[in-house]
Each structure stands twice: as structure tokens, then as C-alpha cells.
Amino acid sequence: MAGSSFGNIFRITTWGESHGPALGVVVDGCPAGLEIDEEYIQHFLDLRRPGQSSYTTPRKESDKVTILSGIFEGRTTGTPISMLVENKSQRSSDYSDIAGYYRPGHADYTFDSKYGFRDYRGGGRSSGRETIGRVAGGAVAMKLLEEVGISSTAFVRSIGPVTISEENFDKDQILKNPLRMPDAAAADRARAYLDNLKKDMDSSGCVIECRIDGVPAGLGDPVFEKLSASIARAVCSIGAVKGFEIGDGFGAAACRGSENNDAFCLSEDGSGIVKASNHSGGLLGGMSDGSQIVLRAAVKPTPSIARTQHTVTKAGREIEINIKGRHDPLIGPRAVVVVQSMASLAIADALLMNMTARVDYLKKIYGK
Amino acid sequence: MAGSSFGNIFRITTWGESHGPALGVVVDGCPAGLEIDEEYIQHFLDLRRPGQSSYTTPRKESDKVTILSGIFEGRTTGTPISMLVENKSQRSSDYSDIAGYYRPGHADYTFDSKYGFRDYRGGGRSSGRETIGRVAGGAVAMKLLEEVGISSTAFVRSIGPVTISEENFDKDQILKNPLRMPDAAAADRARAYLDNLKKDMDSSGCVIECRIDGVPAGLGDPVFEKLSASIARAVCSIGAVKGFEIGDGFGAAACRGSENNDAFCLSEDGSGIVKASNHSGGLLGGMSDGSQIVLRAAVKPTPSIARTQHTVTKAGREIEINIKGRHDPLIGPRAVVVVQSMASLAIADALLMNMTARVDYLKKIYGK
Amino acid sequence: MAGSSFGNIFRITTWGESHGPALGVVVDGCPAGLEIDEEYIQHFLDLRRPGQSSYTTPRKESDKVTILSGIFEGRTTGTPISMLVENKSQRSSDYSDIAGYYRPGHADYTFDSKYGFRDYRGGGRSSGRETIGRVAGGAVAMKLLEEVGISSTAFVRSIGPVTISEENFDKDQILKNPLRMPDAAAADRARAYLDNLKKDMDSSGCVIECRIDGVPAGLGDPVFEKLSASIARAVCSIGAVKGFEIGDGFGAAACRGSENNDAFCLSEDGSGIVKASNHSGGLLGGMSDGSQIVLRAAVKPTPSIARTQHTVTKAGREIEINIKGRHDPLIGPRAVVVVQSMASLAIADALLMNMTARVDYLKKIYGK
Amino acid sequence: MAGSSFGNIFRITTWGESHGPALGVVVDGCPAGLEIDEEYIQHFLDLRRPGQSSYTTPRKESDKVTILSGIFEGRTTGTPISMLVENKSQRSSDYSDIAGYYRPGHADYTFDSKYGFRDYRGGGRSSGRETIGRVAGGAVAMKLLEEVGISSTAFVRSIGPVTISEENFDKDQILKNPLRMPDAAAADRARAYLDNLKKDMDSSGCVIECRIDGVPAGLGDPVFEKLSASIARAVCSIGAVKGFEIGDGFGAAACRGSENNDAFCLSEDGSGIVKASNHSGGLLGGMSDGSQIVLRAAVKPTPSIARTQHTVTKAGREIEINIKGRHDPLIGPRAVVVVQSMASLAIADALLMNMTARVDYLKKIYGK
């Protein structure tokens, strides 16, 4: 089944394995006339690049993007935008030992179960490098969203037991500390926690949050194409994501209707409708309500840990293993931009879909 | 945008509003030769029917299903199965007062924002009655899953602050108590909690859990069609769901790799590979790993509460409202079968998709 | 595979068999605010209804449509429009003899090959009655197209060896003669031809033409979603259609570039670009060029003929058969509205899709 | 709208413009375990390469394919196969004069109408070079079809007024003469016809035929996913195709039921069901009937002719133009492999889709 595409109207198709010659993405359905260039896209790819701190893998990958189609004289033409990143650092020998057994927490066993065999080098298609295509595609989506005043902020909300405090929230901190936490004090505590984990040859999970501003009310459809459902699919399609929340999320399940309902009121200048609170996280009945969209992803700890682990070989023998190689003790900081990309792709698609929601709009475009 | 369909190969398309003459579903892509009848489907519809306890709405709706196509001599023919439930109890007058204002926590405002106007009677398309089509379609999916030995159990895991304990887990309790909790003691505590809420004219959120057994390893695709992503979309497309987890979910985000990784080992008879634990909730790299699939949905409190609430009219005036009508103080018990239905639909679709994953399979079907 | 849906954004899903209790269609993705009612749709259904002349089947079917959802106070709401037609005249006994053998030219054998068995009553899902859903859905599409000034005319161009002449073209004749030919003299000749065929217990093929006016330039996409390709799929999905042409069609294959190229020139008032001729049939590079779209469908002769025919039984024995029952000696006149419906559905979908083609349009809808 | 993908399960996404750095395709949904390499794919690309005779463009393009993903140790892995061909011969200066006006018969005007502007270099996305991706993807489909014994033959059936005769049919001739006609005498006559056209600075249309053997009965779905409809869409999505036929096509429209019906009979050894004739072209009710699938595409004359033509500039002025550059006086011979590729893609998709048609098949794959 063709499972490497995301989106209905604004659609990306990613391709590539960890150790093939290149990875890439085809962005199809982007409206014509969007000004964009490689530099804009490279900015987001750089945010997911490894080697940015001692908490992420020290591999050096330049991950330079090349645009191969769909842009003419600085603007999108409406035809597919093909982007490619070469794999410069393919040290296959590092991975030869994992060909024969199934690493706990990884997709090795499920890959073999599905396809009968697998490209075992560096995780193959299940490698985190697959997200290069998502981020390059997501960058185009973000540029499109900018055109109508939609912007987003993503960050690490918690690492293991350490969570940011809303009072200390400082957006500028996100790019200042390598843990991408918008709270300098929490980042310090998380750093201490991670230093201990590293000594223990262990890894940590984390929660990533993304907030999107400027989304007009009415995006998303009332049933299966709820914007909440599309974003859920988008975010849960990222490897290692095991949980997802919109607004108060699981907190809403524990509270009362009188606490969770957001009262509607008039905006200060009386010109529009706003909400007195935002427990809904910007979505009601699956459609955007004009408030900030707030979502969270629970990311499991990196399964590649240096400790001895128990597993089974392809041939059916139980063994103890020690995984070598270059791995992230914490995937979170690099995954921030991936979450932001996927959310942006879902919203860009909903933005375009919503253009066909009313006969009025039809007349705006085709009317004489 | 056509947003009322779910699934790629096994696909349902639902239709109908709360107060129209009928609601229904078309199930397309069900393989030919499945034995099924109205009685089988009615069983699941009865589980979502209102009026089963004092904690759900006392409306009396028989919700009898009629199959209009796709079944011949007791078996599916491979062509679309159309099913219809008439709306017998349409008291539109109850809802006439809500036409002019936006109920907090409901989709009234977002509907108007999207389409310019709305069918305000009983929530229209955003009514919980829309799930009738999901449950009828989900029943067909469950019957299909049975054919290959896949079965599922769904229940209420927590209501407000009351959570079941794993030690007390008693599957038989699910249908015995109206709160659908598999723990009699927890159900008692939840009942007391709800009785208090009712006095306060308030409502409660809850967490629903679904466990699926017998899923062969390898279902789902490695990238955007991860089974976790498809189930996430399926479950988050249910109105009122604000959070979603697979396996340890948000718990995984708070723990260490050494705690979260499930060791592989040989099954007792040595014939297959199993896991020593199931923190992954049955999915690795987005594909089923042969273990039980475990998922949870966070359901927000019913927004329709009898208390006075603040809101805005369509004309842009702030008012205080008291919503009348027949509403569920707790949607959870009736939503259990909806979660189970949506999960089953996602898995049935993945089951069929996976049949095309290998050239070997092709030869099994077409080989001479 | 879910094969009963057509369209990406404006999508219909049809269901129902010839001898089930009902047939119908769900129209999803129709923009909100379109004024439409059952009477409008019934008009088109009446055009495909049998019993309109001695050349089509004398069965009496009222085929009254009921709208079950998606319309509120006379306008589409943006949610799925479910429409249903009851099967009043189900004489299953007529068909019991065909259960055991494969009628030449019919789908009996291919149905059994695909699904292992079939609903043999009246052709089951392959019956011409399946087109009821297409026509009801097509009517909604035509109403939407009217909103932007698009209209269409469809008719029978030729019956067996008899073809209309362009000089005699009289649009009013289409509904005046039961053969739906816009040329009274040709209709007379065709009638004589058919009278002879009836004596011979034979049937005739025909060519149906559809012309669509008012289509703005630019609909369709340059590659796989060419409007020509979408219309081709739409029209070739009608049972009995064996050929398809746009503009000069096969005639273009036999001529020279200098004959086939349409020169561009300025419109009379100098305000726009028009073509001096229309060999292209309104489509260049798969996108509409602002001229009239002209398409033709080759319809094979009705396979149900009263003559003795040779075939094979399900059990694998060769036999001679004489098919009884109520059949059309000429399907053409009733299929005219089906071709028009399918073309309209393809164009409506392209019309909506094209709304997302430019960043400019995005700003028209979302701009402040 | 994302319009650069074709197929539901076996899906290709093409990208690239005539004068960009490269063109390519992503093949998604190909089953794992198919043995294939660049050499196999190059064979088909070489058949569409220009410069093979004086009747096609003399441009020298090596069109060497590189596989970037989805193949491991000589076999498909089940993940997307990305293939790329560099554009070596980009002489943009040749095309600079066409930026300002609309060439008759080309997509220049419709492109500008759709997107507001266009990449005018060499036709941009509407260039024949776009078919590189189709042919590379089609090659993978053909390799898959081989696995179950399906093979195809494609050729030029007629050029202008010259048509092959069935009696002279000689398959070996197809690759022997540059016109790809399986009839040496017809090829000679066509050559003479073309030589005259060249003197006249004109071009010719042609008819391409494709015959597919070994297709099991039952592929395709009975309604909108009829195999005839999918192939129609596939073939009509090729630029310059203006007509399409299955089996007797338009001939069927002119004949009688008694002539057009194919009698069923037993195969010689009595083991299976065959047809005494094949007017249906291998498809009944839209599903394959086990006979040879026969389809034809009407290709219009190349619009780029050296003669003086009348047109309009972008600025709205009428002018006379003489198009320079390297163009095919006859596109047919190079388009043969494109038609074959598109037909193969449609059939491969139907082959995979059909695997989910029966509960029996489900048990064959998942049964214990």
C-alpha cells in the first residue's frame, strides 16, 4: 500500500533510507505563486540536524537540501516540488551486526514480519533520517501558512520528570538552549537529569508541545477530517510518538464540564467572537475556533541504549546484546521541528480544503 | 471537501444529522463472503443507544438498523453495504432556542464559521447520533477481524478522578455495570462521584481503553500509514476526544529507555517470538508487533450542562444561557463501542492493506 | 477495495443492487449554501427512467428520490447529502434462470471470477439501475455548476449506422423524440433501423455526445488529474461504454497538425482570448481552454438479446440460452443523462480543486 | 490539488520540468521482494528516448536512470522507490521567444490561465519529458506483472491515413522499424506519408494499440474502479491523447448485439471458460474476463510545426509565429512505451486491489 504520502490537497510523499544515496520529498498541491527558496527550507532542516549538542548524536551530517523542480524564478509554479538531501555519512559497517537480531523498542522485528526482510542499515526506512522529507515539506507548508498570518512555535515541554513552568515561559530560550525548552531553569534541571542518565547508559522520553497562532475559525471538517484527527494522524505518524493531546487533553478527561467549557465573549473592540479561556486547545467539534491551537506529543525514550539487553535473533535464538553506534540519548530536541512540520502540513491541507466549503467562496474565485 | 469517509480499502462513509429523517453508513471495500446479518450489527448499536442508565440521556431511541444493499443470502457480496437507522424521536422544538447563540464547548460557533450557517437542531451533523454510522460500519469490521482471530475489548478506564485498578480487572463487569467499568469497586466510587456532579448540574470527562488481541505482526506501514497514526486519526475523529495514547503513552515520555524497551524472547513452545512486556502497546515503528494492542482515548466532559453559562449570540450580543434538553451527564459508557468501532475500522483497513505487502502473497493468490 | 466512490473533493458514493430494497448515493464535499430540492433532482432521474418509449424497457419504475440528509431550509449544509430511491418493481422470479449460467456480454462471469459468487437478480450491482445514484449525484453537480455559469447539453449522436448531421442540429429535438437525437430526420432513420432490429431480436450500439459551455479556462491539472483524464474515467466507468473521445478524438489521430491546431485570437470585443476553431474540444494539456468542452462515448449494443446464444453454465457445461426479461433494445437514450451526470461530476470536482491552485485565491478567501 | 500521483495501492508520483535539473518518480506501494535493477528500467526509458530516427526529435538525451531508494540487495523492500534522470541537454535559449505568446495546440495558455504564470522553458511540466517518470514507474509495474504471468505488447496501429493490417501483423517488426509498426508494408507507406509531411512542415497524428496477455479474470471493480475506467484515465492522462477504446470501441457503437456479444465456451482441455471471440477487449462489466485486453489511444498531431501560425501574445496582441526548436514531427513511436507503461500501472494497481476482494483470500494470507 502506498503509505509514504500525507495530505489530500497539499500532499507530501517522502522517500529514502538511512543508508541509501539520498532522501527526499515531493510536495504536490502547493498553490502557485509562493515565494520560497532553498535557504528558507535549510533553516528548518538545520534544526533537526544531528550534532547540535552532547545530548543528541554527534554524527556530522550537513543535510543540504537541493530543489529539483516546481520553483521558477523564485516562486512555486503549482507543479510538484521535489527536494533531495544526499546521505554523506553512510558508515554501513557500524550496523552490520544488527542485521541478525531484533533490537528491543525498534522496528526491526515488525519490518521483517511485514516484508519478510529489511534494509537493516541504520534502521533503513524507519530511521529518524526519514523525517528529513517531512521537515523539508513542512517548511513549504509553513511558508504557505505565513501568507495568511498563521505562525507556530514548538518546544520541549518536559524531559523525563522535568516540566517547564508556564510562569517562566520564555520563547527566546527555545533556540538558546540545546534542549529546546522555553524555561532556562527547567532546562538546567533537565540537563542534570540527562547527565545522570548518560552515566547509566540510558535514555529519556519527553513531551513536545506546539502552539499555532492565527488560524482562522472553521478549518477542519466535522466528521473524519476533523482538524484534531488530521493533526493526530500527522503527529502520531512520527516514530517514537506514543501519545497525543489537544488543549487540556487527558486533563480534560479528569475534570468537570463547568471547568472545561470555554465561555464565548466579544473581543475587546467588540468586532469579533473570542473565548474567555482555551481548554479546547483551539478546536471545537474538530474545527478551529479561532483560538491558539495547542497540541502535545508524548515521545518515548530512544530505544538504542548502550546497556546490555535481551533479545532474539532472526534465526530464533535468545541472546544478550550491546548496541553500538551513534545514537541520540534524547530524541526530543531534534524532533521539535518534526512535530511543528507535521502539524503545519495538516493545517495547510485543511486551509486549502476549507476554500471549497461554501458556494460564496466559489463565487469569490469564479465570479465575474 | 469530502470528509465523511474513513479508510482506504475498507472504507465507511457516514451521513445524517441528529434531526433528519435518518442516519446511515455505506461500507465499501468489505471482502466478499463474510457472513453477517442485521442482528449482529444491532448488538453493537444497542450498546451505544441512549437510555441505558440514569447517567446517560433518557431519550428513547430504538435505533433499529436496516441493511439496504451488499448482502445476498447472508453473505457480503463485495459491493457496498448500505445501512440505515431512522430518526424516530425528533423533537425539534427542544432545540429551537439554541439556533441563535453559541453553546460553550459545542461546535455551533465553528460550524457557522465554516459554512456560514448550520442545521442547529440537536447539534445537526455534530450530534453524537452521527456515531450510529461508525458503529454499524465498525460492526462489519469486527466481524471481518473475527475471521482471522482478532478480537477486542473496550471499557471505561476512568471517570473524573476514579480509575480502575488492574488487579480488580474483571472483563465480565463491563456489561454488568452501566458505567462499563471492568472493576466493580471503581464503578461504585464513580457512581458516587457522578451522583454529586448531577446535583451540581455538572458533567464529567473520562478515559476509554480498548485492547485488541490476535493482531498478526506486521500490520501498518512504516511512515504515514503507521497503524498507530491510523488508529490515532480514527479515535481522535470521535467528537469530544482530546487525547490519545498507545501503550504507555504519556507515561513513556516520563520514563527511561531501559524501563520502556520490551525485551524479545521466544514463546514458551519455542515456535515464535514474543515480548517479555508490552510497554509498546503492541506497535513498534508503527507496525503491529504481535502483542496486544492497547489504546486509550481522553474524552472531555459533556459540554451540555444545566448550569448557567456565558456566551455570545449569532448577532454578537453577550448573554447568560441555561441549556435545556436531554443530554448525557457522562458520554463515556456509550462512547466505549464507538472507540472500539473506530479502532476496528483502522485495523481492518490495515489488515487488507497488508495483503499487498509482499510478492509472496501475490503468488499465494494468483499462483497456479 | 472501496470502488464505489467518484471524485476527490466533490465525491459521490453509490450503493445498491437491481433487486435490493433500494439504491442510493451519498454526495460528500458539496459546498454549503447551494439551493436545491428533490424536484430538481427528480427531473434528471426521470430522464433515465425506463418506459419512456418502445425502444427502452417497458418496466414501470417510478424512481422517486428522497433526500435524507445534508439539506436544511432548502440549502446544502456542507455535510453529506444522502439520497435514496426505493426499488418498487422487484420481480426476482424473472431472473432465477440466469443464476446458473453466464450471459454473453454481461458481467456474470467476471463477477463470479472476482467474488466467487454473485447476486444474480437483475444483474445485481452491474445493473443499469446502479446509475440512479450517479444521476442523483450528477444533478447536484449540475446545480453547482450553474452557480458559476456552466451548463451542458447531452444527446445521442448516432445509433448503429445513423448519425446526426451538424447542419440539422436542433437542440429542442433532444427531449422531443424518444431517441434523444437533436436531428429529426436522423431520428426517423434511426427509428426505422431499430424497428428492423427488433424484428431480428437484436440490439444496437450508439454514440452519446455531451457539450459543456461556460467552463472557465484552467480547470484540470497538468499531469494525472488532467480534466480529459478525469472525464475519461468518469465516462468509461459507465457500463457498456467502450470508447471515449475529446474534441476531434480519433479524427485527430488521422489528420495533420496544421489542421488540428486551433489558432488563438482575440474575442470580438478584444477583452479576452478565444480560439478560431475547437478541434481540441475545449481542453489543451488536459486543462480547460475556455472553449466548449466536447466529448463522446461509444456505447456497445445491449447484450441482452432475445436470440438464442451459446454459453457455459457455472458448472462448466456448454448450453444454448434464450434470455427472457424486460430489457432495453437500445440503452442509449436513457444513458444520455448518465453521461451528462458523470461529465458534470468530473467538472464540478475540477472546479473545486482549481480553487486551491494559486496563492492569490488563498488571499481572496482568507485575506483581511 | 495534488495531481501528480497515479494509482491507489501501487502509486507513482512524478515530478520535474523539461528544463529543470532533473525529472523523476517515486513508486510507492510496490510489494517487497521484487527483483529489479536499473538496467531493467533503462530498457524502457531507452524506448522513449528521443533521437532514434529522423521522424522523432534529433535531441541527444542519454536519460540515464538512478535508483535512490527502495531497493536492497537487488530486491524491492516495500518502501518507496525513488528514481531520477538528470536533464543534461537544457538549452533554455531555444525557448526564450515562446515566453511571451501562446503556441496553438500547446498548454501555454491553459497553464497561464490556471496558475497565473508558467515555466515556459520547453513546455515546463507539460513537456513530453514528464513521461520519463511514467515510464520508469511503468517498468516497475511491468516487472511486477511478469511475476504472475502478465505481459504486454504495444505498437503504432496507424499513422495519419495508414493503418496496419491484421494479416501482416508481425510482432518482431515493432522494434525493427523506427515507426514501431508491426507491419513492414504499412511502415513503408507511413514513411512515405511522413516524408511528404516533413516537406510541408507539418506533423501527423497516430493511433497506438496495447495488448495485454495473461490477465486473470476478475480484476477491476464493478462501478467507478472499473478496470476500463482506470485504464482510460491512465491513457487519457498522457498529453496529446484525445481518444480511447477498449476492444471494438467505437466500432461496437455501430454494430448489433448479436455481432458484439462474445459467446462463452469451454477451453480446449475443458478445464476453464474462454470466449469464442473478443469484441469486449478482455473486459466485461469493467472487470477482466480472462481474454487479451486490447486498448487503443488516439494521439493528436504534434502541435509544434514549423509553419507560420496565428496566435495571441500574453499582452493581448494578435501575431504570426514560426516555432523553432527541436520537436517530433510524429510523437507516436516514442509514446508507445508510455501507453504501455500507463496501462501496466493501472493493471498492477487493480491486481493488488483485487487481492482484498474475498474473505477466502484473507484466509490464504493470514490463515494458520
For residues D12 and C269, the model is more confident at D12
Instruction: Output the average pLDDT for chain C.
Output: 93
Q: Distance between alpha carbon C170 and the CA centroid of its chain, in Å?
A: 21
pLDDT exceeds cutoff 90 at A97? no
What pLDDT score does D49 carry?
82
Mean pLDDT of A96-107: 89
pLDDT exceeds cutoff 90 at B31? yes
Mean pLDDT of A35-51: 92
Query: Which residues of chain D are under the pLDDT cut of 70?
Result: 1, 51-61, 89-96, 325-327, 368
Among B101-115, B169-183, C46-60, the least confident range: C46-60
How does residue B326 score in pLDDT terms, banded at 50, 70 and 90?
low
Q: Are A221 and B220 in contact (CB under 8 A)?
A: no
Q: Which tens digits make up the pLDDT trace of A266-320?
A: 998 888 999 999 999 999 999 999 999 999 999 999 998 989 999 999 999 999 9
How far is D149 from B247, CA to CA, in rounded Å? 44
How far is A47 from A59, CA to CA, in rounded Å? 14
Q: Which tens digits make up the pLDDT trace of A120-151?
A: 888 889 889 999 999 999 999 999 999 999 99
pLDDT exceeds cutoff 90 at C280? yes
Q: Which tens digits make up the pLDDT trace of C129-188?
A: 999 999 999 999 999 999 999 999 999 999 999 999 999 999 999 999 999 999 999 999
Contacts of C165 (CB under 8 A, 6+ apart): C183, C185, C186
Q: Are A205 and A161 in contact (CB under 8 A)?
A: no
Q: Which residues of C touch A363 (CB under 8 A)?
A: 147-148
Q: Which tens digits make up the pLDDT trace of D28-55?
A: 999 999 999 999 999 999 998 876 666 6
Of residues A197, A109, A97, A100, the one with CA closest to residue B263:
A109
Q: Which tens digits make up the pLDDT trace of A202-245?
A: 999 999 999 999 999 999 999 999 999 999 999 999 999 999 99
What pLDDT score does C354 carry?
98
How far is D225 from D356, CA to CA, in rounded Å? 14
Buried-exposed string C131-165: b where 16+ CB fall within 10 A, e elsewhere: bbbbbbbbbbbbbbbebbebebebbbbbbbebbbe
pLDDT exceeds cutoff 80 at A96? no
Distance (Å) of CA D80 to CA A15, B109, D26, D30: 5, 42, 6, 8
Instruction: Output the average pLDDT for chain A.
Output: 93
How far is A190 from A158, CA to CA, in rounded Å? 8
Half-sphere exposure at residue C151, Cβ-oriented, CA atoms within 13 angstroms: 2
Q: Are C34 and A359 in contact (CB under 8 A)?
A: yes
Tell me chain D's radius of gyration from C-alpha atoms: 22
Minimum-distance CB partner of A352 among C147, C356, C364: C356
Mean pLDDT of A1-9: 91
Contacts of C283 (CB under 8 A, 6+ apart): C220, C226, C227, C228, C246, C247, C289, C293, D110
Residue D264 C-alpha cell reads as: 462463452
Distance (Å) of CA B205 to CA B202, C58, D114: 11, 60, 49
Q: Which residue shows C-alpha cell 493493471?
A: D347
For residue B241, the cross-strand partners are: B299
Q: Is D89 exposed, middle or buried (0-12, 13-18, 19+ CB in 10 A)?
A: middle
Length of chain A: 368
Contacts of C93 (CB under 8 A, 6+ apart): none
How far is A61 from A46, CA to CA, in rounded Å? 10
What pLDDT score does D97 carry?
74
How does residue C323 score in pLDDT terms, banded at 50, 70 and 90?
confident
Which chain A residue has the Cα nearest residue C350? A356
The model carries a pTM of 0.97
How far is B284 from A114, CA to CA, in rounded Å? 12
Q: Which residues of C touch D354 (CB under 8 A)?
A: 1, 114
Coil, strand or helix: which one is B75? strand
Of residues A179, A286, A165, A268, the one with CA closest to residue A231:
A286
Q: Distance between alpha carbon A143 and the CA centroid of its chain, in Å?
A: 16
How far is C109 from D278, CA to CA, in rounded Å? 14
How does residue C52 score in pLDDT terms, banded at 50, 70 and 90?
low
Residue B308: how many CB atoms within 10 A of its CB? 11
Which chain C residue has the Cα nearest residue A8? C8
Residue A267 C-alpha cell reads as: 473581543
C interface with A, Cβ–Cβ < 8 A, is 8-9, 29, 31-34, 76, 78-79, 144, 147-148, 216, 222-223, 351-353, 355-367
Q: Which residues of A touch C76 (CB under 8 A)?
A: 359
Distance (Å) of CA A212 to CA A143, A351, B19, C105: 14, 13, 35, 58
Q: Which amino acid is at B80?
A: P
How far is D360 from D200, CA to CA, in rounded Å? 62
Q: Are C289 and D242 in contact (CB under 8 A)?
A: no
How far is D141 from D341, CA to CA, in rounded Å? 8
Q: Is B193 exposed, middle or buried (0-12, 13-18, 19+ CB in 10 A)?
A: middle
Minimum-distance CB partner of C24 among B16, B82, B119: B82
Q: Which helix (H) or strand (E) holds A284?
A: strand A283-284
Residue A240 C-alpha cell reads as: 517514537
Task: Name chain A's partners: 3 or more CB pairs within 8 A.
Answer: B, C, D
Q: Is A133 exposed, middle or buried (0-12, 13-18, 19+ CB in 10 A)?
A: buried
Q: Do C11 and B28 touch (CB under 8 A)?
A: no
Of residues C223, C235, C243, the one with CA closest to residue C293:
C235
Q: Which residues of C touch D261 (CB under 8 A)?
A: 104-105, 301, 303, 305, 309
How far is C238 from A329, CA to CA, in rounded Å? 58
| Complete DSSP assignment for B173-225 | HHHHSTT--S-HHHHHHHHHHHHHHHHTT--B-EEEEEEEE-PPTT-S-SSTT
pLDDT exceeds cutoff 70 at B233? yes
How many residue pairs bridge chain C and chain D with CB atoms within 8 Å of each other? 407
Coil, strand or helix: which one is C152? strand
Best mutation target, A9, A26, A349, to test chain D (most D CBs within 10 A): A26
For residue B82, the cross-strand partners are: B26
Contacts of B122 (CB under 8 A, 6+ apart): B17, B18, B19, B90, B92, B94, B95, B129
What percent of chain A clears pLDDT 90, i.e. is strictly above it?
A: 84
pLDDT exceeds cutoff 60 at C306? yes
D interface with B, Cβ–Cβ < 8 A, is 8-9, 29, 31-34, 76, 78-79, 144, 147-148, 216, 222-223, 351-353, 355-367
Q: Which tens digits make up the pLDDT trace of C206-218?
A: 999 999 999 999 9
Coil, strand or helix: which one is D327? coil
Half-sphere exposure at residue D166, Cβ-oriented, CA atoms within 13 angstroms: 1
Minimum-distance CB partner of D147 among B216, B355, B363: B363
